[in-house]
Amino acid sequence: MALGSVVCSLPFLLVALFASGTWGGGSLSGDDLVAELETLRSQSPSGVIRLDDRLVSRFLTSAPVPRPYHLLIFFDAASLRSKPELHLPQLRSEFAIVSQSFAAHHSGLPTASKLFFCELEFGDSQSSFSLFGVNSLPHVRIVSPSTRVLLDSEAMESSAFARLADSMAEFVESKSKLSVGPIIRPPPVSPRQIVVLLLVLLVASPFIMKKIVAGETMLHDSRVWMAGAVFVYFFSVSGSMHNIIRNMPMMLNDRDGRPVFFYQGSGMQLGAEGIIVGFLYTLVGLVLAFVTHGLVRLRRVAAQQGMMFVAMVVVYWAVGKVISLDNWKTGYSIHAFWPTSWK
């Protein structure tokens, strides 16, 4: 009777031993690893998987190569999030937006299991930071299916972080050949805030109409329109719309921690750079407006000539600065020349 009990329980014992070996860190197939990654991704609101040293070993160093997935990893440090020059909270948020955009565009498709977004926090994963050779932040790496040594994984250039989510998406597409799709950002105003604004506008509408009929609003003041015109001009020539759409930072920091206000290269500018260029353009416009509408009112010819000379010097200086900046950014120089017929 006892022998029969042992024989009957033997299959269950083998099953238990097999299960414990599988879940205890034994070798898993690629499909099992993908299924586990999908489970971890579903547990995160943003779809970003929080890795640690154990999970790095499970999905990367101990997983058989080639792996059936790419891992895009954002390296973070909770102790450094308070440093404004690193922009870690903002970059972490942008990384989550890229993850959500990828999930939205690839939901239900086979490509959804080809790329997983992960993050590593220094306090929990110091050994993994050493394996990747990460010694500075911000840092983003992509681990391809064929990568055996984590140090050989592709790192995103530090200068590319200025464009935030867009540059991260381009980095993914260039290294994995997987398209993230258009970046989907949350609306700036929530539906609840819209309802509150509509209620406030509805309550204040009688008082607003009364002011409009009486001609006592700011819209009836010519100085407001003049200031608005100058602001619109500054807003357009400074590239502020580009900075808002791209969510460009005001400045960057080089490897020595020094602030960088100008980005060398065409097609991109920092916030401070746009403000400076916009100020120079606006200065030229205001000087020309003064010459056109104010200088002609002076009765003394000597005063007109003196003010005109000062205006020409200011305009020449401002335009020269803009041209010098353009030459430095693009590598193309602008110079004067004599027409052939004049020689």
| Domain boundaries 26-176, CATH class | alpha beta
Residues 206-238 have pLDDT tens digits of: 888 888 888 777 877 888 888 999 999 998 888
Over the range 74-107, which residues count as b (16 or more CB within 10 Å of their CB) and which as e? Answer: bbbbeeeeeeeebbbebbbebbbbbbbbbbebbe
What per-residue confidence (pLDDT) applies to 77? 93
Length of the chain: 343
Q: What is the pLDDT of residues 252-281, one digit of tens each?
A: 777 777 788 887 777 778 888 889 999 999
Give the model's pLDDT for residue 15.
Answer: 39
| H or E segment to which residue 139 belongs | strand 139-143
Residue 332, pLDDT > 80, answer: no
Q: How would residue 343 be classed by pLDDT, with cut points 50, 70 and 90?
A: low
Q: pLDDT-based confidence at 19, cuts 50/70/90?
A: very low
Q: Which residues of 136-154 are buried (b: 16+ CB within 10 A; e: fewer)?
A: ebbbbbbbbeebeebeebb
- Other Cβ atoms closer than 10 A to 193: 11
Report the distance separating Cα 21 and Cα 27, nearest Å: 9
Task: Look at residue 128 and tell me whether its pLDDT is greater than 50.
Answer: yes
- Domain boundaries along the sequence of the chain: 26-176, 221-332
Between 85 and 309, name the one with better pLDDT. Answer: 309
Of 154 and 241, more confident: 154
Lowest-confidence segment of 213-222, 293-302, 305-314 by average pLDDT: 213-222
pLDDT tens digits for 152-186?
999 998 878 877 899 999 999 999 999 999 999 88
Is residue 60 pLDDT above 80, yes or no?
yes
State the average pLDDT over residues 78-97: 90
pLDDT greater than 60 at residue 21 = no
pLDDT-derived band at 335, boundaries 50, 70, 90: low
- pTM of the predicted structure, to 2 decimals: 0.57
Using 50, 70 and 90 to split pLDDT, how confident is the model at 336? Answer: low
Q: Which ranges of the chain does DSSP label H, i.e. alpha helix?
A: 2-23, 30-42, 53-56, 88-106, 126-132, 165-176, 191-214, 222-237, 240-246, 271-293, 301-330
Query: Shortest CA distance to 118 belongs to which of 102, 135, 136?
Result: 102
Residue 284 confidence (pLDDT): 92
The pLDDT confidence band at residue 23, using thresholds 50, 70 and 90, is very low
- What is the average pLDDT value for the chain, to the nearest integer? 84
Distance between CA atoms of 108 and 41, rounded to whole angstroms? 14
